[in-house]
Amino acid sequence: MIRVGLTGGIGAGKSTVARTFAERGGYLVDADKIAREVVEPDSDGLRQLVDAFGPEILGADGALDRPALAARAFADEQSRTLLNSITHPLIGARTQQLIDEAPTDAVVVQDIPLLVESKMAPFFHLVVIVGADEALRLERLTTLRGLDADDARARIAAQADDAQRRAVADVWLDNSGTPEQLAVAAGRIWDERLRPLEANIRAGRPATVDPHWAAAEPDREALPGRLTNRLWAIAGDKATAVAAAGEAGVPELRITVRDAAAAEDLGPLLTAGGFPPDGSGRYASADPGRPATVVVALAD
């Protein structure tokens, strides 16, 4: 099983990609859907919100009145913190439950609007970001969704910018064309990146590099840092340091571990995280579009 983080700025077209992946067999976990589910009528989440913010946040039908909740929960930082303390654990628990229920060979696609802003990218095997020019996104929001132009600009400005997104993206899907063109591009990613990555990890083998995808790296300068962060997420407290080196566009990552036991424990974690052994005492990327090698060394 692999976990794919899917995101993009508002109006970029992320839902088309999510739908394409699901149609291809992806196991879709939608963060927005979960956020609504955990506060449905008669849910424990809704009862906690009513206890915290009062019955005025309910509509006549007993469902959550979101504007009423927003007026109270975003009135000050203390109220915002209280809201998050209620909803975030519920969303996290439901998300983990769905992931635990996924088949062992699943490509779990987690659709998360604020993936970049919440700094979650290192915890996925692959991050796919849908991008589109801000002017085009503004046009879509005002014409297709009926948003006021100032409201649309404010929502765009409140999110990460394209430079921040590219820095964490393993795949950048340009959506300056039609939904049909985007679906075709997403299908190619599924066939040539996601399914091979999952199969390689399950088999415990490094990938054969695909020159097309390796050349399509969204931000080559950010790649070593992105891989370093991902290895920290995999290794956790078994590592005392993670550093990037390497030349010719193939980063070499060095993980320093505290002792031999930690090095032994790290092997299966690296394989599951997308860096299986390459037969030479090192580890290598299982992603055909992201070549990299990993060396594990003991601390001096």
Q: What percent of the chain has pLDDT over 90?
A: 88
Question: Quick check: 256 pLDDT over 60?
Answer: yes
pTM: predicted TM-score of the whole model, two decimal places:
0.92
> In this predicted structure, what is the pLDDT of residue 246?
65
**What is the pLDDT confidence band of residue 248, given thresholds at 50, 70 and 90?**
low
> In this predicted structure, what is the pLDDT of residue 206?
98
CA distance 56 to 65: 8
- Domain coordinates in residue numbering, the chain: 2-201, 220-298
pLDDT tens-digit profile of 189-224? 999 999 999 999 999 999 999 999 999 999 999 999
pLDDT tens-digit profile of 97-134? 999 999 999 999 999 999 999 999 999 999 999 999 99
Residue whose tokens read 């979650």: 120
Question: Quick check: 264 pLDDT over 70?
Answer: yes
Question: Quick check: 161 pLDDT over 90?
Answer: yes
> In this predicted structure, what is the pLDDT of residue 144?
83
> In this predicted structure, what is the pLDDT of residue 179?
93
Question: Quick check: 247 pLDDT over 70?
Answer: no
Q: Which CATH architecture has domain 220-298?
A: 2-Layer Sandwich (3.30)
pLDDT tens-digit profile of 276-300? 999 999 999 999 999 999 999 998 7
Average pLDDT of the chain is: 94
Q: 2-201 belongs to which homologous superfamily?
A: P-loop containing nucleotide triphosphate hydrolases (3.40.50.300)
pLDDT tens-digit profile of 15-41? 999 999 999 999 999 999 999 999 999
> In this predicted structure, what is the pLDDT of residue 282?
96
pLDDT tens-digit profile of 71-84? 998 888 999 899 99
Query: Angle at Cα 47 formed by Cα 41 and Cα 92, nearest 5°?
Result: 85
Based on the number of CB atoms within 10 Å of its own CB, is 96 exposed (0-12), middle (13-18) or buried (19 or more)?
exposed
